[in-house]
């Protein structure tokens, strides 16, 4: 690479109580380079990026920008220095419009009074979104967007900043294949203009597609930097995890048991159309759908969060009415939400979060039993490899992937019979993914029925016993295990 060094970080160090999140990390970035940053959950990736974007102070170390040492004070200062970031835990304001979020703090002004130029705001937002090739109305409120759309809005916000250094923390975790491709296309365009990108992801397959060099962090230490040509998946995993990993998709065949769930003609006007499905004991039913296919609305109706207009639901052969999550849980449902922020209680500890949906069983006469809570939590912290300085850490202080594991553990702990997992592996590292799949197998082996909503084709194909494809609020195709290919599924996912 002949281009010049744009950013160098030396000896970056950062500690939280009980965690050495970054241990003297050195890092450099060239003009026009896309540099992938990898590491297990809690390795320190987000911490490093937040230090570069001015949203966290470092404890020690030096940052030089084009040969000049700088002290990055806050995100606005970072932006003035030409650094913009897409945060892992999206930083949008739900109650305001997409356009306002994109231009937050930089809204176009109209002379002479300095009032906001709304027409300009919306048309510029429209342009940026068009460049991204996404169909989101800039006037829509962020609250009403799906996870993927929020992520695209966040990316649009960073792109609108016209920066020289772009920090992307898991920008594609909620995006479909197609949207990811479009983002890559845009990134390559920026790259030609000399923009440098640091790109964090847990999708190893993306590394050769988009990056030129890869840096791996483990437990806050830099393990090494490689050009992508030398960075095959096995090497990267060894660097990230420190050992070889076994089978990625440990699928075991489980005999199908009784019927657990039957849905007949579930309809929500204008959103979900006449959905029918059955789920059996020991079965993993994959529902594959792209953004806006209706996966999440379907899960919310099934779990009693939202109402359906017509249709029938049978659990164990009995017709049931589900009008609240409490009732759904009573009937044996569990629901891992797509947005983990929705499902976690940030101020409560890991054990309290894990046991929250099972407190009725764990408590005696309404009194907490801390020892049992601790035991349950310890089990899942161990099994899922939740990386935390102490068991009673509040979940708001965990890294994104570790929060996801806590959210997952809550439903493993609740002994639900019917589990609805919406993107269960979103943002979790390779080692933990295999562990989650192993747990799903175990659960299926114990007779639990799992509905796995996912936009990850390889995961659905590898793990599901049966796959329903969803598009435009309807099921468009059904495949038995081993029958459909990625192309088949994709074809039915995009038809209207």
Q: Which residues bind ligand ATP (CB under 6 A)?
A: 16, 19, 21, 39, 41-47, 88, 387-388, 397-402
Stretch that binds other proteins, among 2-10, 236-244, 363-371, 465-473 (CB under 8 A): 363-371
Whichever of 191 and 388 has its CB closer to ligand ATP, that residue is 388
Q: Under the criterion CB under 5 A, does residue 46 sit at the interface with Mg ion? A: yes
Task: Work out whether 247 is an interface residue with other proteins (CB under 8 A).
Answer: no
20 binds, among other proteins, ligand ATP, Mg ion, none (CB under 5 to 8 A by kind): other proteins
- For residue 344, state whether it binds other proteins (rule: CB under 8 A): yes
111 or 243: whose CB is closer to other proteins? 243
Q: Could you count the other beta carbons within 10 Å of the beta carbon of residue 454?
A: 23
Longest CA pairwise span in the chain (Å): 73
Distance CA 428, CA 40 (A): 8
Token duo for residue 132: 């991204």
Q: Candidates 28-36, 94-102, 190-198, 346-354 — which segment interacts with other proteins by CB under 8 A?
A: 346-354
Least distance in angstroms from the C-beta of 463 to ligand ATP:
21
Closest by CA to 154, choosing from 64, 61, 85, 230, is 85
How far apart are CB 44 and ligand ATP at their closest, in Å?
Answer: 4
Q: Which is nearer to other proteins, 344 or 432 (CB)?
A: 344
Would you say 307 or 390 has its CB closer to ligand ATP?
390
Residue 117 near residue 97 (C-beta atoms within 8 A)? no
Query: Is 436 within 8 Å of 251 (Cβ atoms)?
Result: no
**Is residue 294 within the footprint of Mg ion (CB under 5 A)?**
no
Sorted by sequence, the CB contacts under 8 Å of residue 453 that are 6+ apart come out as: 287, 289, 295, 296, 298, 299, 338, 420, 421, 422, 423
Site for Mg ion in 83-102 (CB under 5 A): 88
Report the residue from 161, 271, 345, 439 that binds other proteins according to the rule CB under 8 A: 345
Q: Residues 95, 143: contact at Cβ < 8 Å?
A: yes
**Tokens matching residue 337:** 């939400």
DSSP state of 95: T
CA distance 457 to 475: 16
Q: What is the DSSP letter of 317?
A: T
Pick between residue 171 and residue 334 the one whose CB is nearest to other proteins. 334
| 475 contacts other proteins (rule: CB under 8 A) | no
Q: Which of 400, 424, 431, 473 binds Mg ion (CB under 5 A)?
A: 400
Rg (CA), the chain: 23
439: CB partners within 8 A, 6+ apart = 383, 384, 412
Nearer to ligand ATP, 400 or 473 (CB): 400
Which residues of this protein are in contact with other proteins, per CB under 8 A?
17-20, 303, 305, 324-326, 328-330, 335, 337, 341-348, 352, 356-357, 359-360, 363, 366-368, 388-390, 394, 396, 410
């Amino acid at each position: 690479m002949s281009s010049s060094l744009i950013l160098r970080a030396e000896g970056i160090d950062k500690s939280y109580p009980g965690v050495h999140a970054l241990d003297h990390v050195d890092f450099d970035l060239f003009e026009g380079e896309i540099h992938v940053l990898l590491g297990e959950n809690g390795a320190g990736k987000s911490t490093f990026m937040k230090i570069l974007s001015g949203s966290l102070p470092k404890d020690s170390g030096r940052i030089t920008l084009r040969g000049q040492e700088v002290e990055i004070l806050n995100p606005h200062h970072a932006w003035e220095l030409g650094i913009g970031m897409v945060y892992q835990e999206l930083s949008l304001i739900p109650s305001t419009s997409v356009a306002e979020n994109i231009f937050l703090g930089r809204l176009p002004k109209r002379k002479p009074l300095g009032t906001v130029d709304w027409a300009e705001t919306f048309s510029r937002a429209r342009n940026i979104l068009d460049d991204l090739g996404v169909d989101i109305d800039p006037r829509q409120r962020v609250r009403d967007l799906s996870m993927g759309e929020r992520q695209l809005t966040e990316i649009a916000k960073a792109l609108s900043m016209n920066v020289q250094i772009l920090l992307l923390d898991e920008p594609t975790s909620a995006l479909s294949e197609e949207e990811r491709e479009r983002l890559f296309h845009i990134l390559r365009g920026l790259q030609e203009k000399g923009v440098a990108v640091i790109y964090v992801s847990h999708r190893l397959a993306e590394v050769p597609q988009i990056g030129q060099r890869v840096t791996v962090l483990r437990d806050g230490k830099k393990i090494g930097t490689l050009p992508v040509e030398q960075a095959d998946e096995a090497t990267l995993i060894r660097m990230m995890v420190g050992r070889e990993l076994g089978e990625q998709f440990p699928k075991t065949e489980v005999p199908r048991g009784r019927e657990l769930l039957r849905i007949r003609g579930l309809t929500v006007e204008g959103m979900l159309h006449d959905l029918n499905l059955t789920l059996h004991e020991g079965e993993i039913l994959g529902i594959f759908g792209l953004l806006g296919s209706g996966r999440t609305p379907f899960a919310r109706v099934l779990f009693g969060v939202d109402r359906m207009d017509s249709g029938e639901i049978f659990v164990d052969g009995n017709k049931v009415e589900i009008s609240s999550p409490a009732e759904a849980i009573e009937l044996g449902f569990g629901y891992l939400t797509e947005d983990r922020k929705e499902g976690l209680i940030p101020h409560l500890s890991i054990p309290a979060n894990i046991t929250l949906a099972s407190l009725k069983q764990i408590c005696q006469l309404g009194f907490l039993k801390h020892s049992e809570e601790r035991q349950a939590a310890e089990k899942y912290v161990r099994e899922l490899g939740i990386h935390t300085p102490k068991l009673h850490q509040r979940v708001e202080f965990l890294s994104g992937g570790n929060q996801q594991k806590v959210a997952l553990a809550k439903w493993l702990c609740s002994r639900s019979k019917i589990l609805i997992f919406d993107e269960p592996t979103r943002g979790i590292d390779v080692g933990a993914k295999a562990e989650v799949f192993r747990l799903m197998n175990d659960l299926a082996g114990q007779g639990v029925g799992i509905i796995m909503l996912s936009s990850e084709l390889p995961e659905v194909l590898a793990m599901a016993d049966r796959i329903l494809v969803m598009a435009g609020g309807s099921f468009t195709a059904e495949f038995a295990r081993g029958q459909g290919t990625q192309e088949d599924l994709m074809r039915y996912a995009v038809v209207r």
